[in-house]
């Protein structure tokens, strides 16, 4: 009998999953337990640790509370996060001064840490100080909301913290919702701090000092983790506890193996499966697939706008007019996602949201005319790169791009680079032409433009330098007049669409595959599973 490697792996992973956890002490009933398989590892229990994986971010959101969290809303038949709704977690609410410079955060009087001790204003102050002071992932992110100094956080009374801002920043509260803004049991953490490690960062990599919906029951680094519901949790919507009493998380690297575990009923949930497997799984009787466009993300084809000939907007416009968008969309994603091309507006966008579909479409005659206007009717040669880790989607795009651009005289050499080399060259602005993707935790238009289209920094993929964008995005960040903010955002989108520093392709779907009786899955901005909203029906 021939037994494929895939079959062996499936059988091994499934058995290991059942053997490793079926006999857990004090096990809950099957109905009350969610079994989750992930392709990557949870490499730290402290999400602010440099190098922490996205899986660690997801864990943090379930184990730690923040002061606030985003709401959620329906997109079609599915749930997605809503960054425009700020609700309390450890905070019961907030008030803002008339000038927008002071935010008074009102703490829940009944909140307790996992060890049963009360959450105090001193704990919150210490947590906020740590978030902006420690050498971690948190300070750069929180600075985008003007949260930069421990001096900004003041204890007013036992249940009130006051935050002072240098200017009214529309993203200050949003930054208190992100995975890095964890609230910590300071007494417990400080008992494990040292002179060399005053914020207990080493201890918190493998231990928690939290108050969230779930407690860590066991943790095998790189392998598995078991969570137990916190019966004293008060921060749920209307104080509601999560439905699942226990979550079993196991790392199963191969996507095909995870898919098989779901199909067989040995696991309840997995994300980031291969797009090619999903159409088949959607037809499976006992499986449900929730597919939601990554509403805060985008896949893009980018040029280095500081290098000739890509410093000529006409050349960039020509490339945008030559690309075979629909063919690329179907070849790369099997049509699973949201198109960011093909919009019908010409000069003024319909609204101020971003990303949104841009008015670019395939038009070879226009592309050839633009090349002539750029003085490059005879074309030129260039390279086009993608990372090996993105081969499944990037390779078909590259092949179609090469063929299409050849029709307007641009000769393309495709370069498939190791992930590390690609990431280094991208960061150092040494790639003239390439494909990549990005997501923004805070999908406000001004934040997008500051993050991806201004300054000499890592995430300015196109190395774009545009005075109008820099001026408008800086002003919009602190604009308190809604109508003026709307106008500023629309103007930035207009400039972007005209100058084409990069070509927006699509928002790929975030696909979650689960047992047919699992409900309530929410697409979150950090692209991981939130167990708190899930239930078995």
Give 423-465 pLDDT, tens digit per residue: 999 999 999 999 999 999 998 999 999 999 999 999 999 999 9
Q: How confident is the model at residue 28 (pLDDT cuts 50, 70, 90)?
A: low
Interval 318-360: pLDDT, tens: 999 999 999 999 999 999 999 999 999 988 999 999 999 999 9
Interval 190-214: pLDDT, tens: 999 999 999 999 999 999 999 999 9
Give me the pLDDT at residue 11, please: 40
Q: What angle do CA 95, 439, 335 make, to 5 degrees?
A: 130
Partners of residue 512 on adjacent β-strands: 271, 290
Per-position b or e across 230-255, b if 16+ CB within 10 A of its CB: beebbbeeeeeebbbbbbbbbbbeeb
Please check the confidence at residue 143 and state whether its pLDDT lies above 90.
yes
> What is the bridge-based pairing of β-strands 522-523 and 78-88?
parallel
Give me the pLDDT at residue 12, please: 44
For the chain, which residues make up each domain, given as ranges? Answer: 1-54+212-286+516-537, 65-190, 297-509
Give me the pLDDT at residue 1, please: 32
Average pLDDT over residues 240-259: 95
CATH class of segment(s) 65-190: alpha beta
Interval 71-91: pLDDT, tens: 999 999 999 999 999 999 999
Give me the pLDDT at residue 29, please: 80
Give me the pLDDT at residue 279, please: 87
Q: How confident is the model at residue 24 (pLDDT cuts 50, 70, 90)?
A: very low
Residue 355: partners with Cβ closer than 8 Å, 6 or more residues away: 297, 298, 340, 448, 504, 507
Please check the confidence at residue 4 and state whether its pLDDT lies above 50.
no
Partners of residue 302 on adjacent β-strands: 434, 502
Please check the confidence at residue 25 and state whether its pLDDT lies above 50.
no
Domain 297-509 has CATH 3.10.105.10: yes
Give me the pLDDT at residue 344, please: 95
Interval 153-190: pLDDT, tens: 999 999 999 999 999 999 999 999 999 999 999 999 99
Q: List, as one string, the DSSP characters of 471-523.
A: HHHHHHHT---HHHHHHHHHHHHHHHHHH-SEEEEEEEEEEEEEETTEE--EE
Higher pLDDT, 245 or 19: 245
Give me the pLDDT at residue 37, please: 97
Average pLDDT over residues 456-481: 95
Please state, rounded to an integer, the average pLDDT across all residues of the chain: 93
- Rounded CA gap, 252 and 254, in Å? 6
For domain 1-54+212-286+516-537, give the fold. D-Maltodextrin-Binding Protein; domain 2 (3.40.190)
Give me the pLDDT at residue 239, please: 85
Are 323 and 404 in contact by the 8 Å Cβ rule? The answer is yes
Please check the confidence at residue 401 and state whether its pLDDT lies above 80.
yes
Locate 138 and state its tokens: 């948190």
> What is the enclosing helix (H) or strand (E) of 447?
helix 445-453
Percent of the chain with pLDDT strictly greater than 70: 95
Please check the confidence at residue 498 and state whether its pLDDT lies above 50.
yes
């Amino acid at each position: 009998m021939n037994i494929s490697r895939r079959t062996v792996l499936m059988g091994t992973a499934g058995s290991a999953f059942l053997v490793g956890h079926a006999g857990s002490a004090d096990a809950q009933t099957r109905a009350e337990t969610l079994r989750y398989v992930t392709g990557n590892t949870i490499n730290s229990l402290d999400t602010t640790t440099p190098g922490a994986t996205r899986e660690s971010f997801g864990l943090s959101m379930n184990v730690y509370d923040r002061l606030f969290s985003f709401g959620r809303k329906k997109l079609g038949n599915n749930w997605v996060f809503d960054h425009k709704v700020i609700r309390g977690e450890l905070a019961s609410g907030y008030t803002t001064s008339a000038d927008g410079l002071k935010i008074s955060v009102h703490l829940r009087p009944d909140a307790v840490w996992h060890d049963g001790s009360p959450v105090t204003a001193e704990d919150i102050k210490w947590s906020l100080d740590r978030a902006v002071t420690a050498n971690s992932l948190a300070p750069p992110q929180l600075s985008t909301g003007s949260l930069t100094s421990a001096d900004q956080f003041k204890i007013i009374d036992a249940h009130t913290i006051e935050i002072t801002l240098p200017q009214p920043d529309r993203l200050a509260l949003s930054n208190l919702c992100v995975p890095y803004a964890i609230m910590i049991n300071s007494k417990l953490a400080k008992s494990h701090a040292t002179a060399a490690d005053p914020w207990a960062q080493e201890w918190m990599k493998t231990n928690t000092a939290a108050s969230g919906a779930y407690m860590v029951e066991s943790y095998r680094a790189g392998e598995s983790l078991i969570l137990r519901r916190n019966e004293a949790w008060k921060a749920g919507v209307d104080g509601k506890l999560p439905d699942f009493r226990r979550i079993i998380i196991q790392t199963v690297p191969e996507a095909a193996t995870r898919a098989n575990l779901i199909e067989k009923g040995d696991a309840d949930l997995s994300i980031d499966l291969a797009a090619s497997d999903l159409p088949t799984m959607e037809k499976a009787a006992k499986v449900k697939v929730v597919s939601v466009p990554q509403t805060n993300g985008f896949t893009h084809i980018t040029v280095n706008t500081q290098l000739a000939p890509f410093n000529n907007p006409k050349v960039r416009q020509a490339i945008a007019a030559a690309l075979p968008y629909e063919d690329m969309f179907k070849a790369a994603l099997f049509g699973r996602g949201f198109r960011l091309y093909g919009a019908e507006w010409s000069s003024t966008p319909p609204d101020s949201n971003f990303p949104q579909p841009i008015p670019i479409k395939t038009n070879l005659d226009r592309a050839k005319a633009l090349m002539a206007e750029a003085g490059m009717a005879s074309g030129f040669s260039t390279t086009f790169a993608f990372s090996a880790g993105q081969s499944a989607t990037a390779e078909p795009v590259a092949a179609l791009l090469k063929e299409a651009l050849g029709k307007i005289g641009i000769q393309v050499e495709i370069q498939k680079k190791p992930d590390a080399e690609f990431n280094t060259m991208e960061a150092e602005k040494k790639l003239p032409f390439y494909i990549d993707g990005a997501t923004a935790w805070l999908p406000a238009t001004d934040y997008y433009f500051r993050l991806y289209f201004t300054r000499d920094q890592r995430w300015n993929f196109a190395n774009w330098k545009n005075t109008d964008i820099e001026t408008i995005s800086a002003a919009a960040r602190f604009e308190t007049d809604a109508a003026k903010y709307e106008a500023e955002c629309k103007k930035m989108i207009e400039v972007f669409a005209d100058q084409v520093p990069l070509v927006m392709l699509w928002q790929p779907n975030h696909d979650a595959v689960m047992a047919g009786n699992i409900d309530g899955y929410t697409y979150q901005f950090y692209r991981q599973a939130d167990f708190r909203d899930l239930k078995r029906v």
